Chain A
Amino acid sequence: MTHPLLEVRAVTKRFPGVVALRQVHLALNQGEVLALIGENGAGKSTLMKILAGIQQPDEGELRWEGQRVEIRSVQDAMRLGVALIHQELNLADNLDIGANIFLGREPRRFRLIDRRAIRDASRKVLQRVGLDYSPDLNLARLSIGQQQLVEIAKALSMNARVLIMDEPTSSLSTRETERLFEVVKDLRRQGVSVIYISHRLGEVKELADRVLVFRDGANSGELSREEITHDRMVRLMVGRNVSRLYQRTPHVPGEVVLRVTEMSTPAFPAKTNSFALRAGEIVGMAGLVGAGRTELLRVLFGIDPSTRGTIEVSGRPCRIRHPRNAIAAGLALVPEDRKQQGIILEWAVDRNGSLPGLDRIRRGGVFLNAPEESRIAEQMIGELGIRTPSRKQIVQFLSGGNQQKVVLGKWLALKPKVLLLDEPTRGIDVGAKEEIYKLMDRLAREGLAVLFVSSEMEEILGISDRVLVMHEGGITGELSRDELSEESIMQLATGLAPVAVGSTL
C-alpha cells in the first residue's frame, strides 16, 4: 500500500491560554490540491506553520512518505520539499527576480555570485509558473500577482513537492486569480501537491480535489471532490445554525447622536461623506478591502486629520483633532489592529481597562485612583464576562476574544454615546464572536449608537439595522434592513449603483 506524501497525525499545539490545535489529522497525496478551510482562529495557519517548520507541535507526529519526520526549522521543511507561500510576500523588492529566487543560496563561482547560473536556473522555474520575464528585471516592477508567482517559482527552484498557499488570492485581481489557478492546475499535473487555504469557497470549489475543514482547532469534517458544495462547507465550518449566531432583538432608534457632514479623508481627499447615526441602532459599514472605511473611522476619532467636513455629536458641533477630543465628545473606537492599537499587550487587564479614563477618576489633580481602577476592572470583567484568572493577568495571555472584550470594556467604562468598531470579530473564535454580537445588540438596546466596519458579509447581514456601503473612499449607498442582501451590498461596494444618502435623516 502506498503512503500519503505528507501526513499529520494527532497533532496538538498549545499557546498560553489557548489550545490552537487539538489532535488534528491531515493526509496529502502526491499531485493533489487539498483545500483547508475554517473560520478565523480555527487553527489553519498554526498547522501550516508547523508543516513549514516555523513552530513545533506539542504532541503528535508528522510523516513523510510513511516515515516519521521532525520538521524543526524552515531549512528542515525545505530539505523535505515543503514550502510555505505566505499571505504577505517574503520578497525583497529592491532586488531583481533572479536574486530573489536564489536569495540566501546563491550559486558561486570563484567565491563570487554566479549570475549566469542564476539567470539560467531562474528562467527554467519562471517558465514552469508561466511568467515570461527576464530574471534581471527588478521585482518592484511586477504586480502583486506576478510577485506571488515569483515566490512559487522560488519554491520550485528548491524542488518543493508540497506548496502551502495561505490565502493566495486575498490581494489579487480577478485576472491574476485566474492566472494563479492555471498555474496551480499545471503544478498538479507536474505532480506537485498543494495545500490551499482560503476563505473564498468559490475558489475552493473550482480547485480542490478534497476539502478538509477545521473548527476551533480540531478536524470537523472532510469532503471529497463530489461532495463539495457551498452549504456543506459552511455547515462544517460554523458547526451551528447561523441564525443562532446572529440573534437580534428589536431596536428602537432614537435621536440622531452623530451627524457627519461633507467629511473627507486624507486617503481620498476628493470624496466627501455625510451620514448620521441614531441612538439605539446598529449600523454596518460594508465595502471591499481598501474602500476607505477604516480611514473614515480614523478621521472621525481624530487619529488622522480631516481635510474638510464637520462633526456634530448630539447636535453640538465638535472639533476633533486628537482621540482625546473624540473621547470627550462621547465617541469610542475599537480599532482594527487590536494588538497594536487597542491594548497594551504587556499590561494587565486592570491597567488596560482604566487607561482612557484615568483623568476622569484622578484624585488631587494628578494622582492615580487605585481603588476606583480596581472597581472599574472588576466591573468590566463581570459585565462583559472576560475570562481571566484575575484583573492582574497580563492581556497577552488572554484569548483574542477576551482581549477584544478588554478593549470594549475600557471604552464602556467611559459611558460613550457612539461606539465605533473596526472589524470587531477579526481573529477571534466563534463562541467569542457570538458574545460580541450579543453585547453589541445589548448596547444598542441600551441606547448606544453603534457603527461597525466589517468585511464579513454574514456579519453585516446578520446584525445590522441599516448598512452604509463604501466604494473608493465614498459612501455609495444606504440599505435598510429589508433591502439587505449580498447582491445589493456587492452592487454598491463595487460602485455599480450610486444611491442618494442621508436623505432619510
Chain B
Amino acid sequence: MKKVLGILGLFLIVFGFTAANSENFTSASNMQNLLNWTGLYGVLGIGAAFVIITGGIDLSIGSVIGLVGCLLPMFLIDKGYSTPVSLALVMLISAAIGLWHGLLITKLKLQPFVVTLCGLLIYRGVARYITSDKTKSLGQSHADLRQLARGKIDIPGLTDATGLQVPVPFLILIGLTIVAAIFLNRTIWGRYLFALGRNEQAARYSGIKTDRMVILAYVICSTLAGFGGVLFMLDLNSVQPSSHGNFYELYAIAAAVLGGCSLRGGEGSILGVVIGTAVLRLLNNASNMLSIPNQLEFTIIGAVILAGAIVDEVAKRIVHRMRQSKSG
C-alpha cells in the first residue's frame, strides 16, 4: 500500500510539473490521448505483473503483440473469417503460447528468462515470415470492431464541462484492473501465487499445486499480451511485422516494477502497476509537451525507474534499522 502511495505521489509530481509548464498538456485532446495509451499499455503491465509475482519474467510480450497484430488482419481480410472467429483464434493462440511457456518452465524446469527470450525471437520471426514482412492493415473495413480501440465515451457532466471523452481502452483497463485485483487479493489462487512467489518450497509443502499456478500466470500474461495486441492493432491499423510491439515487454515490466512488483517474486499490486503504466505514459507525453528532445525519452524513463528503486531500497534499510533499534 505504501508503494502505491509512493508511485501515486510520483505521478502527481510529474503531472503537476508538466501542467505548470505546458499550456497544451491539460487540453482535452491530450488528456484523452494519455488515457488511451495508459489503457493500451496497462493491459500488458497487468499481465506482466502476474508472471513477475511468481518470480518469473516474460520477455515475449512484444513479439506476441507483433504476431497477433499480423494474424488478426490476415484472418479478417485474407482469410475472410468472421470477427468472432478471428478474435477467438488470436486469443486462443496467445493463451497456447502462455501454456507452452508455463509447461517448459515448470515441467522441464527451464529458466523463464531463457524460455521467453527464445519466444521473443521465435514469434517475431514467425510474424515476419507469414506476412513476408509486408505491412498489414484492415483498410477501411471493420470500423465497428475498431471502435474497441478508437471509441470514446461521453461522461455526463465531465464531457459537457471539459470536452473530455473517455477512450474505450481506458474503460477496458478499469474493468480489467478490478477483475485482476479481486483475483489476486480476494481469491485463494491469488494467495497461492503470492505464496509460491515468496517461497515455492514452503507453498508446495503446504499442498499447493505450484506448477499449475505458475502455468496459469504465464497463460494470463500471454493472453493479456494477445488482447493488448488486438487493441494496438485496431488502434494503429497499420502493422509493420518487423517492428510492431518491439520493446513493449520492457514497458510492461518497467510499469510492474515501478508499481511495486519485486522481480524476486511474491510482491506486487495491480493498482500500483496501473499507476506505474500511467507514469511511463506521462513521462513520454511530458517530454513531448515540454519539448524535451525525443531521443531522451528512454533516458528519462530509465532514470525515473532507477531513482524509484534507489529510494525504495534506502527507505527499506531505514525502516529495517529503526525496527532493529526499537526491538533492542
B residues 183-215 with Cβ under 8 Å of A? 186-189, 191-192, 195, 198-199, 201-209
Q: Please tell me if the beta carbons of B207 and A324 are within 8 angstroms of each other in the complex.
A: yes
- A17, A301, A355, A366: which contacts B203 (Cβ < 8 A)? A355
Q: Please tell me if the beta carbons of A327 and B207 are within 8 angstroms of each other in the complex.
A: yes
- Asked if B84 is at the interface (CB within 8 A of a chain A CB), the reply is no
Q: What does the 1/0 interface line of B156-188 toward A look like (CB < 8 Å)?
A: 000000000000000000000000000000111
- Interface-forming stretch among A100-108, A190-198, A336-344, A423-431? A336-344
Q: Please tell me if the beta carbons of B207 and A345 are within 8 angstroms of each other in the complex.
A: no
Select from chain A the residue with minimum beta-carbon distance to B192. Answer: A358
- Asked if A460 is at the interface (CB within 8 A of a chain B CB), the reply is no
**Which residues of chain A are within 8 angstroms of B139 by Cβ–Cβ distance?**
none
Closest 9 CB pairs of A and B: A356-B206, A324-B207, A327-B207, A358-B188, A366-B187, A323-B207, A355-B206, A344-B199, A16-B327
Q: Please tell me if the beta carbons of B328 and A340 are within 8 angstroms of each other in the complex.
A: no
B residues 285-328 with Cβ under 8 Å of A? 323-324, 327-328
Q: Please tell me if the beta carbons of A347 and B198 are within 8 angstroms of each other in the complex.
A: yes
Select from chain A the residue with minimum beta-carbon distance to B188. Answer: A358
- Asked if B69 is at the interface (CB within 8 A of a chain A CB), the reply is no
**Which residues of chain B are within 8 angstroms of A68 by Cβ–Cβ distance?**
none
Q: Please tell me if the beta carbons of B195 and A355 are within 8 angstroms of each other in the complex.
A: yes
- Asked if A477 is at the interface (CB within 8 A of a chain B CB), the reply is no
**Which residues of chain A are within 8 angstroms of B55 by Cβ–Cβ distance?**
none
- Asked if A235 is at the interface (CB within 8 A of a chain B CB), the reply is no
Would you give the shortest CB distance from A337 to chain B, in whole angstroms? 8
**Which residues of chain B are within 8 angstroms of A367 by Cβ–Cβ distance?**
186-188
| CA distance in complex: A347, B187 (Å) | 17
- Asked if A368 is at the interface (CB within 8 A of a chain B CB), the reply is yes
- Asked if A409 is at the interface (CB within 8 A of a chain B CB), the reply is no
- Asked if A362 is at the interface (CB within 8 A of a chain B CB), the reply is yes
Given known A340-B201, A367-B187, contact A356–B327 (CB-CB < 8 A):
no
Would you give the shortest CB distance from A399 to chain B, in whole angstroms? 12
**Which residues of chain A are within 8 angstroms of B195 by Cβ–Cβ distance?**
344, 347, 355
Q: What does the 1/0 interface line of A322-362 toward B look like (CB < 8 Å)?
A: 11101100000101000011111111000100011011001
Select from chain A the residue with minimum beta-carbon distance to B182. Answer: A367
- Asked if B266 is at the interface (CB within 8 A of a chain A CB), the reply is yes
Some 29 contacts from A to B, beta carbons below 8 A apart, are A16-B324, A303-B204, A303-B205, A322-B207, A322-B209, A323-B204, A324-B209, A333-B205, A340-B202, A341-B205, A342-B202, A344-B195, A344-B198, A346-B198, A346-B266, A347-B198, A351-B191, A355-B191, A355-B195, A355-B203, A355-B206, A356-B206, A356-B208, A358-B191, A359-B188, A362-B188, A366-B189, A368-B186, A368-B191
Q: What does the 1/0 interface line of B136-153 toward A look like (CB < 8 Å)?
A: 000000000000000000
Q: How many residues on the B side are at the interface (Cβ–Cβ under 8 A)?
A: 23
Would you give the shortest CB distance from A352 to chain B, in whole angstroms? 9
- Asked if A14 is at the interface (CB within 8 A of a chain B CB), the reply is yes
Q: Please tell me if the beta carbons of B328 and A58 are within 8 angstroms of each other in the complex.
A: yes
**Which residues of chain A are within 8 angstroms of B207 by Cβ–Cβ distance?**
322-324, 326-327, 356
| CA distance in complex: A324, B213 (Å) | 14
Given known A303-B205, A344-B199, A346-B266, contact A16–B323 (CB-CB < 8 A):
yes
Would you give the shortest CB distance from A438 to chain B, in whole angstroms? 25
Select from chain B the residue with minimum beta-carbon distance to A370. Answer: B186
Q: Please tell me if the beta carbons of B204 and A368 are within 8 angstroms of each other in the complex.
A: no
Select from chain A the residue with minimum beta-carbon distance to B327. Answer: A16
A residues 282-333 with Cβ under 8 Å of B? 301, 303, 322-324, 326-327, 333
Given known A16-B323, A16-B324, contact A335–B205 (CB-CB < 8 A):
yes
Given known A17-B327, A58-B328, A366-B189, contact A323–B205 (CB-CB < 8 A):
yes
| CA distance in complex: A345, B266 (Å) | 12
A residues 109-163 with Cβ under 8 Å of B? none
| CA distance in complex: A71, B186 (Å) | 50
**For the side of the interface on A, what is the size category?**
20 to 34
Sample of 11 further A-B pairs with CB below 8 A, known A301-B205, A324-B208, A342-B202:
A324-B207, A340-B202, A341-B202, A341-B205, A343-B202, A344-B195, A347-B195, A347-B198, A356-B207, A356-B208, A367-B188
**Which residues of chain B are within 8 angstroms of A368 by Cβ–Cβ distance?**
186-188, 191
- Asked if A405 is at the interface (CB within 8 A of a chain B CB), the reply is no
- Asked if A433 is at the interface (CB within 8 A of a chain B CB), the reply is no
- Give residues in B with beta carbon < 8 Å to A: 186-189, 191-192, 195, 198-199, 201-209, 266, 323-324, 327-328
- Asked if A25 is at the interface (CB within 8 A of a chain B CB), the reply is no
Which secondary structure dominates chain A's binding surface?
mixed
Would you give the shortest CB distance from A249 to chain B, in whole angstroms? 30
**Which residues of chain B are within 8 angstroms of A326 by Cβ–Cβ distance?**
207
Would you give the shortest CB distance from A334 to chain B, in whole angstroms? 10
Select from chain B the residue with minimum beta-carbon distance to A328. Answer: B207
Interface centre among B188, B203, B209 (most CB of A within 10 A): B188
- Give residues in A with beta carbon < 8 Å to B: 14-17, 58, 301, 303, 322-324, 326-327, 333, 335, 340-347, 351, 355-356, 358-359, 362, 366-368, 397, 410
**Which residues of chain B are within 8 angstroms of A324 by Cβ–Cβ distance?**
207-209
**Which residues of chain A are within 8 angstroms of B327 by Cβ–Cβ distance?**
14-17, 397
Would you give the shortest CB distance from A314 to chain B, in whole angstroms? 19
Would you give the shortest CB distance from A233 to chain B, in whole angstroms? 32
**Which residues of chain A are within 8 angstroms of B202 by Cβ–Cβ distance?**
340-344
**Which residues of chain B are within 8 angstroms of A347 by Cβ–Cβ distance?**
195, 198
Interface centre among B189, B199, B207, B323 (most CB of A within 10 A): B207
Q: Please tell me if the beta carbons of A345 and B187 are within 8 angstroms of each other in the complex.
A: no
Interface centre among A323, A335, A344, A346 (most CB of B within 10 A): A344
Would you give the shortest CB distance from A414 to chain B, in whole angstroms? 9
Select from chain B the residue with minimum beta-carbon distance to A338. Answer: B202
Would you give the shortest CB distance from B325 to chain A, in whole angstroms? 10
**Which residues of chain B are within 8 angstroms of A340 by Cβ–Cβ distance?**
199, 201-202
**Which residues of chain B are within 8 angstroms of A342 by Cβ–Cβ distance?**
202, 205
Select from chain B the residue with minimum beta-carbon distance to A324. Answer: B207
Q: Please tell me if the beta carbons of B188 and A341 are within 8 angstroms of each other in the complex.
A: no
Would you give the shortest CB distance from A322 to chain B, in whole angstroms? 7
Would you give the shortest CB distance from B177 to chain A, in whole angstroms? 18
- A14, A344, A359: which contacts B328 (Cβ < 8 A)? A14
| CA distance in complex: A58, B328 (Å) | 9
Would you give the shortest CB distance from A118 to chain B, in whole angstroms? 37
Would you give the shortest CB distance from B174 to chain A, in whole angstroms? 21
| CA distance in complex: A356, B205 (Å) | 9
Interface centre among A16, A324, A358 (most CB of B within 10 A): A358
| CA distance in complex: A346, B191 (Å) | 14
Would you give the shortest CB distance from B139 to chain A, in whole angstroms? 43
| CA distance in complex: A387, B44 (Å) | 44
| CA distance in complex: A410, B207 (Å) | 12
| CA distance in complex: A368, B202 (Å) | 19
Would you give the shortest CB distance from B205 to chain A, in whole angstroms? 5
**Which residues of chain A are within 8 angstroms of B186 by Cβ–Cβ distance?**
367-368
**Which residues of chain B are within 8 angstroms of A301 by Cβ–Cβ distance?**
205
Would you give the shortest CB distance from A306 to chain B, in whole angstroms? 17
Select from chain B the residue with minimum beta-carbon distance to A16. Answer: B327
Q: Please tell me if the beta carbons of B199 and A345 are within 8 angstroms of each other in the complex.
A: yes
**Which residues of chain B are within 8 angstroms of A410 by Cβ–Cβ distance?**
206
Would you give the shortest CB distance from B141 to chain A, in whole angstroms? 40
Would you give the shortest CB distance from B210 to chain A, in whole angstroms? 10
